[in-house]
Structure 1
Amino acid sequence: MPAPRRLIAPALAAATLLTCAAAVPAAGACRPLPDRYAVSRTEGVLPEGIDVRPDGTMYVSSDGTGALYRGRVTSPQMRPFRADGATARGSSRGIHTDRTGRVFSVGKGRLTVHAPDGRLLDSVDAPNGPLGAPDLNDLVVTPDAVYVTDWANPVVLRASLDGGKVGSLEPWADVRGAFPGFPDRYWLLNGIVADPTGRILLVASNGTEAVWRIDTATREVSRLDLGDTSFGADGMVLHGRNMYAVLNYGAPHGVYIARLDAQLRSGTVVHRVTGDRFDLPTTLARHDCRLYLVNSQNDEPPGTPPYTVTALDDPVCQADG
């Protein structure tokens, strides 16, 4: 992605946040949680993607080496995840898990799937796109498919899921027709999310500074209407009708939250959380009313260890009481 102005990363904080169970807590149910996590202290890691599972297991990918890391929301230090063969592609970006705990990740031109113990279950290479070699950026897992964005080509790719087996990656939606005349090479597709049914996809395009809606039944591509807001998002999370997006180019770095309509066709930005706590954040995850943002340092490789994840309270939960 284009290199925005670098922010100075704060030191790894020892402060903690206090989180309680959503239900009426038993004695001692409240526990302190870190507000910052160290992914790695090895130079050149450059973290990129993140996923937090319902049980609090956290996965982070490395754009710099291709390695994957795993930890818990209760511990400030993450550790390398075995992930057989992940480093062979040299870069890992988007990372997500499915309901069974399988770990899906993409980077360069390859999608890999690992078991929770690190065994490689599937490895699928992407074909060249209309502009040349693929540069896979992010993915979303739906009930019947995996959809993947390509930073280098204005296409969304799809691999079917049949009985747990991942099919071949195929070009599935060419987005250029939704914005005629826009230069092909500047679409720069980033984050991708889906509604729970897998019927609607939202795809971020850093180049067009917009989010695009795709109906998976018809492949119709239309612009998500956010009014006059320029919204060149990187990574995103969709939780109900709330879309959480990380912005890091052309806007103050941080997380922006939009409330969408029931059809996911339009919305309004209702919260912005910015400031020097972030160091070129690339994406985020949401877990138990907390947001977890990756500080990539990818604007000045190899960056300065430790490479971190910043945690903060979800302002939507706070507003809802």
Structure 2
Amino acid sequence: MQIHSLDRSQPYDYVVYGASVGGILLALHYAAAGYDVLVLNAYGFPGGSVTESLSCLQQRPEAATPHARQLFGPLLANPYALVHEGPEGCVLNPEVLKISLQHALEASSVALLFHVKARALAPADADGYATLSLIGKEGEFIVRTRRVFDATDAGHLTRLVRRTGQLTGARLCVFTSPVPEAAAATIQALAGLQQAVRLSDGRYWLALGLPAAHPTFVETTANDMLDTLTAVLAPLQARLQIVPAETQLLYEAAPADFSGYFSCAADLLPGRAYAPHQWLQRAADLEAAVVAAQAAQPAVQ
């Protein structure tokens, strides 16, 4: 792993926008194949919506590709990684996932640049390089690359580039401190509750649905819901223990053409729909799709 230098003028082969689980698997795959890869992320830690939005309830993935097996095998065998496992799936410890992904990146040649957001993407020039404009704490700057892949779970860059992607839902996911078992009915009566998983130590992982309005209004509603949750938990001698960095936004993205300079998950996995508890499986499927695509047509010459 290396940190991207703003003084660098040499283009990358691949830029992966979003350090989601799927994005990191793609980056590791490309780097292992000898390509020059950069991963960009809005936050200072990896994991996508699992760590950023606490979408921690996940199905155990079926992994058939090397990096997916290397990541998920040790992760799911780690006794500290799973805080619950039941018929509904596994509840992951987001901190353990962050560490596992960071270690995988550190053992690779992938370059990282966090705390940045995309401003614009210019089409490939005569030399075949696209220009991605970014904004970070250092100001505005650019990186050049053969191909950009939007690996954000919400498709942030896809909406900026293609002007497509309909907001279909939003969720607020939180962890509470331990709640008395006798108060289970109070938890189940929460407005907007979609899922409630009681952990072995008495804590809850909760997912509450929000109106699929403009993202700005979603965040306002989420803040109001956090206030409501705080008020509900207080008489139970409980509190919110972990809240997300951002509300989970769910978008529907239409697939396009993977042969160009820009692509996203919908391009590699056309016709496949994944629920929020299937992000790990989607990550494994993304790597498998890239392996298949490269076998059919090498991505970079």
TM normalised by structure 2 equals 0.25
Bigger strand fraction:
1
Larger Rg belongs to: 2
TM normalised by structure 1 equals 0.24
Which of the pair has the greater relative contact order for Cα pairs under 8 Å at 6+ separation? 2
Bigger helix fraction:
2
